[in-house]
């Protein structure tokens, strides 16, 4: 259980972040790991609770509490504390295919459910996970694990985001021959082009996909299924097909002047930056640039924050982030008790950087767009906003006389997603739900189309990387059961 008195003997110490004004000079990851001796002490703070909420990963009052992957957190914390990092790595990889991703981009649901956090600071679970997986790569422990025998079954996985990669990884290890189809020029899906480099450097993704290729997984890039690659061809040539294309249909803002030049969806902006960065160090001149522009980001979530941080690195003249809902409390409310996910206000890296550069928090709460303003050439030059108030039924109402015009040459819409892009699902004849996700039975992943399954955001809607990995693992078990009549993969049941 780590050190019996560790939670009292050691204070929480996180991996250190480079100061905002320094880190905005580049797009590199900006957290520096603490020495392994200190990290072991952090693992020693784990209490090995009788009820380890950290690894529960179940919905609680509409929110996930604990790790959806059911990571064996107390076990590998104990092994890390005792200097047994090789064994800790083995324990970590039993439940998580890609700790190098989750230890960088996961909001650490495990820590929010850590018993140490009830009256003090939770254990640094995510940083401990980072130490274990990077130790594995640094010491050549992450070697190809090829299956001893092949089943003779072929599976096509469409989409190489976290759910598609996890599903492919599991099925390949089971002995099936897996081909991953990706419409972009690089593998990774959301991980590659939806998450900025400073949160997840792309070499980390390519390191893992290269390992998967060595293990036998085939990647076909620039292959848009449904257009470049006919769905019927996959149904004829593969024993099962998995749709893992994400929830990539963005929610739009229908306001006057929406056709102005200079309005883009957030993922379009982030993708263009990452691609230009990888192709030529952001010097191609073809990406959507915020340099010298007044930027308004619509949406207060993680993607909106990523747009703020990216715009600052471009050299924007200013940045404002609009949030329709009221500001969350700074501490847990009485109706939001432990171990529920804490609905509290957090200042993320992008907002920290905006405060450092411009002197104030970029967020404006209870504010929405009234109209987009255009110049005589049709280019965006400003945004008219209005403040909102909410009634007892949480219906918004405009506040009279609260209209304001913000200067803006670049507007980035980060207002969430409305389900999957429907062309792939339609190509395979898979039914959709009312919310635009691929329809399946409760707690299942097989679609209405024969031998077609679905995983990740395309199935459950916009969510977290850690949930997408769990979706991929569960789908793999279901596909394996379909192909073989039984499965011994985690998450599956025998026929």
Residues 6+ apart with CB under 8 A from 330: 344, 345
- Measure the CA angle with vertex 168, ends 162 and 171; round to 5°: 140
Question: Tell me: the pLDDT tens digits for 267-300?
Answer: 999 999 999 999 998 988 889 999 999 999 999 9
Q: Rounded to the nearest 5°, which phi and psi values hold at 294?
A: -85, 120
Residue 492 reports pLDDT greater than 90: no
**Dihedral sign of CA atoms 263, 267, 273, 276 in order:** negative
Which pLDDT does position 283 carry in this prediction?
86
Residue 494 reports pLDDT greater than 80: no
Question: Tell me: the pLDDT tens digits for 152-161?
Answer: 999 999 999 9
Domains of the chain (ranges, CATH numbers): 6-138 (1.10.1060.10), 154-248+418-484 (3.50.50.60), 263-413 (3.50.50.60)
The pTM assigned to this predicted structure is 0.96
Which pLDDT does position 495 carry in this prediction?
35
Which pLDDT does position 220 carry in this prediction?
98
Residue 20 CA: distances (Å) to CA of 269, 282, 353, 363: 22, 20, 5, 17
Average pLDDT over residues 56-70: 92
Strands 318-322 and 154-158, bridge-based pairing: unpaired
At 491, the pLDDT band (50, 70, 90 cuts) reads: low
Q: What percent of the chain has pLDDT above 90?
A: 92
Average pLDDT over residues 361-385: 97
At 240, the pLDDT band (50, 70, 90 cuts) reads: very high
Question: Tell me: the pLDDT tens digits for 463-489?
Answer: 999 999 999 999 999 999 999 999 999
Average pLDDT over residues 320-346: 94
Residue 438 reports pLDDT greater than 80: yes
Which pLDDT does position 285 carry in this prediction?
82
Q: What percent of the chain has pLDDT above 70?
A: 99
Burial of residue 339 (CB within 10 Å: 0-12, 13-18, 19+) is buried
Closest to 244 measured CA to CA, from 91, 472, 492: 472
* 8 Å CB contact between 86 and 141: yes
Which pLDDT does position 201 carry in this prediction?
97
Residue 374 reports pLDDT greater than 80: yes
Average pLDDT over residues 213-228: 97
Structure tokens at 307: 């747009």
Based on its alpha-carbon atoms, the radius of gyration of the chain, rounded to whole angstroms, reads: 23
Which pLDDT does position 493 carry in this prediction?
45
- Measure the CA angle with vertex 396, ends 390 and 398; round to 5°: 100
Unique residue bearing structure tokens 């593998």: 187
Average pLDDT over residues 452-457: 98
Return the biggest CA–CA distance within the chain.
71
Question: Tell me: the pLDDT tens digits for 86-133?
Answer: 999 999 999 999 999 999 999 999 999 999 998 899 999 999 999 999
At 208, the pLDDT band (50, 70, 90 cuts) reads: very high
Average pLDDT in the chain: 95
């Amino acid at each position: 259980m780590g050190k019996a008195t560790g939670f009292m003997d050691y204070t929480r110490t996180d991996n250190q972040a480079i100061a905002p004004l320094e880190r905005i000079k580049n797009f590199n990851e900006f957290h520096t790991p603490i020495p392994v001796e200190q990290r072991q002490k952090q693992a020693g703070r784990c209490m090995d609770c009788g009820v380890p909420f950290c690894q529960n990963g179940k919905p609680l009052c509409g929110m996930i509490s604990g790790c959806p992957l059911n990571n064996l957190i107390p076990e590998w914390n104990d092994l890390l504390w005792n200097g047994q990092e090789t064994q800790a790595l083995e324990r970590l990889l039993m439940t998580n295919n890609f700790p190098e991703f989750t230890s960088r981009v996961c909001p650490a649901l495990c820590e929010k459910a850590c018993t140490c956090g009830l009256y003090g600071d939770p254990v640094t679970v995510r940083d401990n996970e980072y130490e274990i997986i990077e130790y594995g790569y640094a010491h050549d422990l992450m070697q190809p694990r090829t299956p001893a025998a092949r089943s003779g079954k072929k599976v096509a996985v469409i989409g190489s985001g976290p759910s598609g990669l996890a599903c492919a990884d599991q099925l390949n290890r089971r002995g099936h021959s897996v081909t991953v189809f990706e419409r972009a020029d690089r593998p990774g899906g959301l991980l590659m082009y939806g998450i900025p480099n400073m949160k997840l450097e792309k070499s980390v993704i390519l390191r893992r996909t290269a390992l998967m290729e060595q293990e036998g997984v085939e990647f076909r890039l620039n292959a848009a299924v449904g257009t470049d690659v006919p769905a019927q061809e996959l149904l004829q040539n593969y024993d099962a097909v998995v749709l893992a294309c994400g929830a990539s249909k963005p929610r739009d803002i229908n306001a006057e002047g929406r056709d102005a030049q200079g309005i883009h969806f957030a993922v379009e902006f982030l993708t263009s930056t990452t691609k230009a960065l990888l192709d030529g160090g952001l010097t191609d001149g073809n990406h959507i640039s915020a340099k010298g522009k007044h930027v308004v980001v619509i949406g207060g979530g993680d993607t909106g924050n990523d747009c703020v941080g990216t715009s600052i690195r471009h050299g924007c003249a200013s940045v404002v982030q609009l949030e329709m809902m009221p500001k969350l409390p700074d501490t847990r409310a009485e109706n939001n008790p432990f171990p529920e996910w804490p609905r509290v206000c957090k200042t993320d890296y992008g907002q920290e950087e905006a405060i450092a550069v411009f002197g104030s928090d970029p967020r404006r709460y209870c504010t929405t767009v009234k109209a987009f303003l255009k110049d005589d050439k049709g280019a965006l030059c400003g945004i008219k906003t209005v403040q909102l108030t909410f009634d007892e039924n949480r219906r918004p109402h405009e506040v009279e006389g609260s209209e304001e015009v913000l200067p803006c040459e670049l507007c980035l819409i980060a207002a969430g997603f409305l389900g999957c892009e429907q062309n792939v699902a339609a190509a395979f004849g898979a039914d959709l739900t009312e919310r635009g996700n691929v329809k399946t039975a409760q707690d299942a992943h097989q679609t209405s189309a024969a031998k077609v399954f679905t995983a990740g955001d395309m199935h459950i809607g916009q969510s977290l990387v850690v949930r997408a990995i769990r979706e991929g693992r569960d789908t793999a078990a279901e596909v394996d059961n379909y192909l073989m009549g039984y499965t011994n993969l985690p998450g599956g049941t025998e026929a």
